[in-house]
Chain A
Amino acid sequence: MAATELKKEEVRQAVVLADDFSTNLHPMQTLYPSALMPVFHIPLLEYLTETLVRNDIQELFLYCSNHVESLRSYVQSQNYKGLINVHLIVSDGCRSLGDALRDIDSKGIIRGDFILIRGDAFTNANLKRLLDWHRFKSKQDKGAAMTLIFRDLGSNNFPVKENKTCLIAADNSNNKVLFHQKLSEKDRKVKLELQLFLDHDCVRIHSGLLETHIYLCSASVLPLFSDNFDFQTMEDFIRGVLINEEILDSRIYWQKLDPEEYALPVTSWRDYNTLIRDILQKRGYPLTIEMMPSCMYFLYLRRCTYKHNSSILGKGCTLERDCVVCPNSNVGENTRITGSVIGEGCNLGNNVRLENSYLLGKVRIGDDCIVKNSVLFSGCELGNSVEIDGCILGPKFKLKLESVHTDSLMQIDSNDCITYISMSKAHPDTDQELPYFKYTCTNESDDDSDDLEDYSSSDEESIAEMPLTDDTHMFFTEVMESLMRGYQDKVKCENLILEINSSRYAYNVTIREVSYNVVKAVLSLPMEYLSNSGSEISSKSYQKTLKLMLEYFDMVILNYVKSYEAQTDCLRAIQDTAATLDTVSSILFVFKNLYNCDILSEEKILEWYELDDEDNDDVMQKQVRLKMKKDIQPLVRWLREAEEDSSD
Chain B
Amino acid sequence: MWRQMEFQAVVLAAGKGSRMTELTASRAKCLLPIGNYPMLYYPLKLLARNGFMEVIVVVQEEWKNEIALAIDKLNIRLRCDFVGIPGGDDLGTADVLRLIHEKFYTDIIVLPCDLIMNIDLSGIFNSYRRHSAIIISMLIQLPTFSDKLINPGPKSKPKPERDLIGIDNETNRLIFFASASDFEEKINISRKLYKKHTNFNINSNLLDIHLYIIHKWILDCLLIDKSISSIKGELLPYVIKKQSAQTHNPNKIEKSTSIMKQNTDRDIFKLVTDKALSKRKKRLDVLISEMSPFNDHSTNLENAYNEDLIKCYAFIQNTKFGFRANNIHMYALANAVIHEKWAILSAAPTIFFDDSMIKTNQVENCTIGYNASISEKTSLKLSHIGTSAVIETKTRVLNSVVMENVMVKEGCVINNCILCNDSVVEEGCELNHCIVGANHTVPAGSRHSDEVLTDIGNLMEI
Interface residues of chain A, those whose CB is within 8 Å of chain B, are 152-156, 167, 172, 183, 187-195, 197-198, 200-209, 451-452, 454-459, 461-467, 469, 477, 480, 524, 527-528, 531, 580-581
Q: Do B259 and A527 have beta carbons less than 8 Å apart?
A: yes
Stretch at the interface among B82-90, B120-128, B247-255: B247-255
Q: Do B301 and A188 have beta carbons less than 8 Å apart?
A: no
Q: Hey, what's the 0/1 contact readout for B194-220 against A, CB within 8 Å counting as 1?
A: 111111111111000000000000000
Q: Do B187 and A207 have beta carbons less than 8 Å apart?
A: no
A189 to B204, CA, bound (A): 21
Q: Do B186 and A191 have beta carbons less than 8 Å apart?
A: yes
Q: Does B183 contact A (CB under 8 A)?
A: yes
Q: Do B199 and A463 have beta carbons less than 8 Å apart?
A: no
Q: Do A198 and B253 have beta carbons less than 8 Å apart?
A: no
- Which 7 residue pairs across A and B have the least CB separation, nearest first? A154-B299, A208-B198, A201-B205, A207-B194, A464-B237, A189-B188, A155-B300
Q: In the complex, which residues of chain B have a beta carbon less than 8 angstroms from the beta carbon of A459? A: 245, 266
A300 to B382, CA, bound (A): 82
A38 to B198, CA, bound (A): 34
Q: Does B298 contact A (CB under 8 A)?
A: yes
A580 to B205, CA, bound (A): 51
Q: Do A464 and B178 have beta carbons less than 8 Å apart?
A: yes
Q: Do A531 and B255 have beta carbons less than 8 Å apart?
A: yes
Residues of B157-213 whose CB lies within 8 A of A: 162, 164, 166, 169, 176, 178, 180, 183-205
Per DSSP, are chain B's interface residues mostly helix, strand or loop, or mixed? mixed
Q: Do B178 and A455 have beta carbons less than 8 Å apart?
A: no
A154 in contact with B238 given A190-B188, A192-B187, A198-B162 (CB within 8 Å): no
- Selected from A190, A195, A198, A208, the residue in CB contact (under 8 A) with B189 is A190
A459 to B245, CA, bound (A): 8
A404 to B184, CA, bound (A): 59
- Count chain B CB atoms within 10 A of each CB in A194, A203, A452 and give the residue with the most: A194
- Selected from A191, A198, A451, A455, the residue in CB contact (under 8 A) with B188 is A191
Q: In the complex, which residues of chain A have a beta carbon less than 8 angstroms from the beta carbon of B146? A: none
Q: Does B263 contact A (CB under 8 A)?
A: yes
Per DSSP, are chain A's interface residues mostly helix, strand or loop, or mixed? mixed
A504 to B41, CA, bound (A): 60
Q: Shortest beta-carbon distance, B40 to chain A, in Å?
A: 32
Q: Shortest beta-carbon distance, A247 to chain B, in Å?
A: 21
Q: Shortest beta-carbon distance, A11 to chain B, in Å?
A: 35
Residue of A nearest to B204 (CB): A197
Q: Do A154 and B298 have beta carbons less than 8 Å apart?
A: yes
Q: In the complex, which residues of chain A have a beta carbon less than 8 angstroms from the beta carbon of B255? A: 531
Q: Do A172 and B190 have beta carbons less than 8 Å apart?
A: no
Q: Shortest beta-carbon distance, B124 to chain A, in Å?
A: 20
Q: Does B4 contact A (CB under 8 A)?
A: no
A153 to B195, CA, bound (A): 11
Q: In the complex, which residues of chain A have a beta carbon less than 8 angstroms from the beta carbon of B188? A: 189-192, 461-463
Q: Hey, what's the 0/1 contact readout for B223-261 against A, CB within 8 Å counting as 1?
A: 000000000001001101100110100001101100111
A191 to B192, CA, bound (A): 14
A549 to B198, CA, bound (A): 40
- Selected from A195, A203, A458, A477, the residue in CB contact (under 8 A) with B190 is A458
A172 to B164, CA, bound (A): 14
A155 in contact with B198 given A455-B247, A456-B256, A459-B245 (CB within 8 Å): yes
Q: Do B190 and A188 have beta carbons less than 8 Å apart?
A: yes
- Selected from A188, A207, A458, A527, the residue in CB contact (under 8 A) with B245 is A458
- Selected from B192, B200, B252, the residue in CB contact (under 8 A) with A458 is B192
A477 to B259, CA, bound (A): 10
Q: Do A194 and B245 have beta carbons less than 8 Å apart?
A: no
Could you pull out 25 A-B pairs where Cβ atoms are within 8 angstroms? A152-B299, A154-B298, A154-B299, A155-B299, A167-B194, A183-B194, A192-B186, A192-B189, A194-B185, A197-B180, A197-B202, A198-B162, A201-B205, A203-B203, A204-B200, A207-B194, A208-B194, A209-B198, A455-B245, A457-B190, A458-B244, A463-B190, A477-B260, A531-B255, A580-B261
Q: In the complex, which residues of chain B have a beta carbon less than 8 angstroms from the beta carbon of A192? A: 186-189
Q: In the complex, which residues of chain B have a beta carbon less than 8 angstroms from the beta carbon of A188? A: 190-191
